[in-house]
A and B are shown apart, each in its own frame.
Chain A
Amino acid sequence: MTDQPLVEMRHIEKSYGRVHALRDVNLSIRRGEIVGLLGDNGAGKSTLIKVLSGAVPYTSGEIRIKGKPVKMTSTNDAIAAGIETIYQDSALVPQLSIARNLFLGRELTKGSLGRMDLDRMNQVAADLLKRVGISKNIPPTTPIGSLSGGERQAVAIARAMYFDSDLIVLDEPTNNLGVAETQGVLRFVREARDTGHSCIFIAHNIHHVFQVVDRMVVMRRGTVVADDLSPKTSSIQDVEDVITGDHITV
């Protein structure tokens, strides 16, 4: 029972008209592991995570969560199934406060008129900020727009942890971040794993991926070409060769 994967994608196909974006993709994620999803531009990484997060429908195949087949027809299906996807540019609303972002779509309310319990939302947000160590005296009422890129990623990851998502999908979380902020984000990812969450980590920077993942999956031309590369046994060069396809040249 413990060996049962958290998420299994089987024979997933996705085509946009004549373009085959995903071909027979099989991928499984175990509990508490961080999987790096790698591939060159256009390899199908984005499409795959969009399928997994319910943002785009897949043409055929099956997705199982904890062994049960689920239909992913909307982002709400994915959220309900415990999958939280943090996109690069569309994770947070800059004009809204940290607390309002944290609870966006799942606002705490009191009474029957949909009135938000802002006091409690702010309090939970403040505690959460403190717990994940990005408080730096930032009040939970601060608009996201005035936070740094790293702080924003941290808020998005903290949100996924707070709502106990089983799987957190991070799309380029270290993009455009400085060295210190990148380390901060990587620390969060490890913390998420240590508290029992699984992660899919997508990044162009293989160095970042190597620092944090347990396993790497490589996609090329819409299909998975390697799914068990370990940062312990493979070198960065090896992985790059798989990504570009140089390893099969004879």
Chain B
Amino acid sequence: MSTPSTVSAAYPAQQGALKRFVAKPEFGPLILLLTMLVVFTSINPAFLSLNNIGNALTFTVELGLIALAMTLLMTAGEFDLSVGSVFGFSPVVMWALFNAGLMPLPAAFVVAMVLAVGIGLFSGLFVTRLGIPSFLVTLGMLLVVRGAALWLTSGFPQRTWDAGDQWIATLLVGDFYIGGLRIYMSLIWFIVLAIILHLLLTSTRFGNWIQATGGNPGAARNRGVPIHRVKVILFMLSAAMAAFAGIISSIRVSAANPNSGAGYELEVIAMVVIGGTVLTGGRGTIIGTVLGVLILRLMRNGIVLIGVPGLAYNIFIGAIILGMMALHAALERRHNAGT
């Protein structure tokens, strides 16, 4: 009989490393990504060129930022359909305030972010206090926020070309070269935030609460986990990330279009579930989401490069989602069977 205080004794041997790796939710998407890289490159070697990779990464990270936050929200058992609208709304607000001469750009940025966090807070409170499914709440929010963006601008894009000399624009989307590879600041943001949120989910107390909130809310509540607060915080994070991504995008493309981001919510959710996060909550992986983001983005890029009509893109995405879900379901069954 050992004493609880000994920290040295190793606990029983783990199952084989390979077996554990295969059972991980990230295994499927990793294999798929590698297969895509091999197939696309063998058909068109330009796929792996620095130029192409640099371009693909740039467009990738804007949706990717939202997917990171959505991963945590979905792990907690909720999701947010309003992110595409917030993606369009926030830059519109920022540029409208700035262009009207009401405040300097950094202040307009803060106002837009605070508004977005408020939208997340509102959705979160609606879901947790009134017990309405997040599907309905955020569907309503999608319409309200998109409508607000259109109404504020009378449907016209806001000009953003004054951004060039603003330090905040450089901080968000400035670019630099590493060798021949052009790197945008947004990629750095994505990497930093992915690492932070990965650590948050896997190694912190709050991360444990997120997983417990999605896995068995009753048990989490009985253990004193503030499940409502956890969810509200994650709704706020998801809206903030959507706003951040939208603002980055508006500076990059030099236009804040009130219609931009339409349909992004579903693409983001697709990235997250392809990566191995479960729609019903309890299990989520930031690494998987990063893989899911890369899969969808490189697929879009790759099928064009190998000569498949771009309009067929959705067929591939749909097929990937279905295939991945089948794989994850099979792994889940094996997992539950204890093998």
Contacts and interface: CB of A to CB of B under 8 A. Distances in A.
Interface of A: 53, 55, 74-76, 79, 85, 87, 89-96, 100, 103-107, 109, 113-116, 118-120, 122-128, 130-131, 135, 137-141, 143, 145-146
A122 B222 contact: no
B205 interface: yes
Contacts of A90: 216, 218-219, 221-222
B216 A92 contact: yes
Interface string B216-237: 1011111111000000000000
B41 interface: no
B154 interface: no
Interface string B193-220: 0000001000111111101101110111
A162 B208 CA distance: 19
Given A120-B7, A123-B7, A91 B222 contact: yes
B288 to A, nearest CB: 14
A85 B225 CA distance: 14
Contacts of A143: 335
B17 interface: no
A195 to B, nearest CB: 13
B11 interface: yes
A85 B203 CA distance: 27
B178 interface: no
Given A75-B224, A145-B335, A123 B11 contact: yes
B216 A79 contact: no
B3 A104 contact: no
Nearest to B338: A146
B11 A122 contact: yes
Contacts of A140: 11
Q: Which of A74, A95, A139, A145 has the most CB of B within 10 A?
A: A95
Interface residues of B, number: 37
B281 to A, nearest CB: 9
Contacts of B206: 114
Given A114-B205, A116-B205, A145-B335, A94 B215 contact: yes
Contacts of B130: none
Given A75-B221, A120-B7, A135-B12, 17 more contacts: A76-B224, A79-B224, A90-B219, A90-B222, A92-B216, A93-B282, A94-B215, A95-B283, A96-B211, A103-B208, A106-B224, A119-B7, A141-B11, A141-B14, A145-B335, A145-B336, A146-B338
Contacts of A53: 222
A128 B2 CA distance: 9
B9 interface: yes
Contacts of A109: 204-205
Given A93-B282, A116-B205, A146-B335, A127 B4 contact: yes
